[in-house]
């Protein structure tokens, strides 16, 4: 356990270094931030104000110090604390990702169990087709197609923006498809394996109702790898959210980070990436700990 925590901390440190380097790599923000009439003196002043005129290692240490206190600096572009933007975007993104995850789990589990349990070859084939398709389709294209179908041709749903329940439908569906495809596969495979185990065999012999066998035993055995996978999946969903958000003009982290990158707003870039990564790592940590708790064999 302790070892695991230690690993996480070191990884975190690595992350800060990477993020720092990445943000600096995006280029010099000075010309983008200052108006065109700015003089060399203005540029100098701006650089000094944000510590950009110090050497890189010093900048990194300052950055590290600030970050550990939760200070991500002030956005170059809007002159407001960078963390504010991240927090503002976090809500919508988490809502989108959370709902997408939920939908993915429901659909994935449902289809996976169906495919594993059903004797009908066609159901299995269809589910497989869905899983293959879902893992192959780029989310932004799917989003555009759904918009064409349900916003333009059939004016049922709003094509972008944020506000009503209706606004959630298309983005959540779009984002969930890849995840639900993966979960479907995972569930199907593990369920099929579990269904063939001796345990289940025995329960059948004992005459227990099929539904109960499926739900209580097979599912529970299959759930561990699925839960593990969900942690990983969250990171993928976050990544997918970034592109999906652009398609639907969703005011979340995706929009914030892309804008920040286009305008070389270091503080916001760093804040967004770090917060996202930390969240992801914490979730993985939580998943690992949960698994360790659930399954003593994993306690290394």
Partner 1 sequence: MSAIEQEAGGRGRPPMLALACCVLLVIVAVLGDIATPYAKDFADLSATLAPPFWQDGGSLAHLLGTDTLGRDLLSRLIAGTRISLLTAGAAIFVAGTIGVLLGLLAGYAGGLVDAIVMRAVDAFLALPFILMALALVAALGSGVENMILVMIVTNWARYARLVRSEVLSIKGRDFVTLARIAGLAPHLIAFRHILPNALNSITVLALLDIGRAIILESSLSFLGLGIQPPEVSWGLMLADGKAYMSFAWWITTLPGLTIVATVMAFNALGDWLKLRFDPRAAL
Partner 2 sequence: MLRVSESWWARRTLFGHGVTWAIAALVAVGSPTSVAQAQPKSTLTVALGADLVSVDPHKLVSGIDHSFFANVFESLFANDARGNLVPALAESVSVSADGLVHDFKLRPNVKWHNGDAFTADDVRFSWQRSIDPEIKNPRASVVAAKIRDVEIVDPLRVRLHLKQPDASLHENMVTYFYLAPKKLIERVGNDEFGKAPVGTGPFRFVERKPREFTRLAAFEGHWGRVPKVAEVVLKVVVDDQTRMAQIQTGESDIVTSVPLVFGSRMQGARDFTIIRVPSFGNAFMVINNRGNNPDLKKPDVRRALNMAINRETLAKALTFGFATVHESPCTPGMIGCDVKFTDPYKYDPAAARALLTKAGFDFNRPIKVVGPATGRVTQGKETVEGVAQFLNAVGVKTTIEILEYGTWATTAFAKEKNPEIDVYLLAAPDANRDSGPRQLRTLKTGEAMSFYSDASLDQELTKLGTMPTLTAYEEQSRKVFRLIHDQSAMIPLWAYDSVYAVRSNVKYEPFRYITWPILWYAEKAPK
Segment 260-299, which members bind partner 2 (CB under 8 A)?
262-264
- Rounded to whole angstroms, the Cα distance separating 178 from 174 reads 8
The listed partner (partner 2, partner 1, none) that binds 10, CB under 5 to 8 Å by sort, is partner 1
Partner that binds at residue 160, options partner 2, partner 1, none, CB closer than 5 to 8 Å by kind: partner 2
Q: In the window 145-184, what residues touch partner 1 (CB under 8 A)?
A: 145, 147-148, 152
User: Quick one: what does residue 238 bind among partner 2, partner 1, none, with the CB cut-off 5 to 8 Å set by partner type?
Assistant: partner 1
Select from 155, 198, 296, 297 the one that contacts partner 2 (CB under 8 A).
Answer: 155
**DSSP string for 250-299:** --SHHHHHHHHHHTT-HHHHHHHHHHHHHHHHHHHHHHHHHHHHH-GGG-
What track of x and - describes contact with partner 1 for positions 244 through 273 (by CB under 8 A)? Answer: --x----------xx--xx-x----x--xx
Taking CB under 8 A as the rule, does residue 140 contact partner 1?
yes
Helices (H), 207-252: 210-212, 219-248
Nearer to partner 1, 18 or 202 (CB): 18
DSSP characters for 173-191? HHHHHHHHHHHHHHHHHHH
| Residue 81, helix vs strand vs coil | strand
Report the alpha-carbon distance of residue 86 to residue 16 in Å, rounded.
16
Q: Work out whether 91 is an interface residue with partner 2 (CB under 8 A).
A: no
Q: Which member of 5, 14, 289, 294 binds partner 1 (CB under 8 A)?
A: 14
In terms of Cβ atoms closer than 10 Å to its own Cβ (0-12, 13-18, 19+), residue 230 is buried
For the chain, what's the residue count? 300
Binding partner selected for residue 11 from partner 2, partner 1, none, CB under the kind-specific 5 to 8 Å limit: partner 1
Which tokens is 204 given? 């059948």
For position 163 contacting partner 2 by CB under 8 A, the verdict is: yes
Beta bridge partners of 74: 81
Binding residues (CB under 8 A) for partner 2: these are: 31-32, 35-38, 42, 78, 147, 151-152, 155, 158-161, 163-165, 248-249, 251, 262-264
């Amino acid at each position: 356990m302790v070892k695991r925590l230690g690993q996480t901390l070191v990884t975190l440190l690595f992350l800060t270094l990477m993020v720092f380097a990445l943000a600096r790599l995006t280029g010099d923000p000075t010309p983008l931030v200052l108006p065109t009439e700015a003089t060399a003196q203005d540029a100098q002043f701006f650089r000094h104000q944000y510590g950009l005129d110090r050497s890189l290692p010093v900048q990194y240490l300052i950055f590290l110090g600030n970050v550990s206190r939760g200070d991500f600096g002030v956005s170059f572009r809007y002159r407001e604390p960078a963390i504010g933007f991240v927090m503002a975007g976090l809500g919508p993104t988490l809502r989108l990702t959370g709902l997408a995850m939920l939908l993915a789990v429901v659909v994935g589990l449902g289809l996976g169990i169906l495919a594993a349990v059903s004797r009908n070859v066609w159901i299995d084939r269809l589910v497989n087709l869905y899983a293959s398709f879902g893992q192959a389709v780029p989310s932004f294209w799917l989003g555009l197609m759904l918009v064409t179908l349900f916003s333009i041709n059939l004016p049922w749903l709003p094509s972008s923006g944020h506000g009503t329940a209706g606004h959630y439908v298309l983005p959540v569906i779009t984002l969930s498809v890849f995840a639900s495809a993966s979960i479907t596969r995972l569930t199907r495979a593990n369920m099929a394996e579990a269904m063939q185990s001796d345990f289940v065999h025995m329960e059948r012999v004992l005459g227990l109702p099929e539904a109960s066998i499926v739900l209580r035993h097979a599912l529970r055995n299959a759930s561990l790898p699925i839960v593990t996978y969900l942690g990983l999946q969250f990171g993928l969903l976050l990544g997918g959210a970034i592109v999906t958000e652009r398609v639907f003009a969703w005011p979340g982290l995706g929009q914030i980070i892309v804008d920040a990158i286009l305008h070389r707003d270091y503080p916001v870039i760093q804040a967004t990436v770090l917060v996202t990564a930390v969240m992801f790592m914490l979730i993985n940590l939580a998943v690992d700990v949960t698994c360790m708790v659930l399954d003593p064999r994993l306690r290394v």
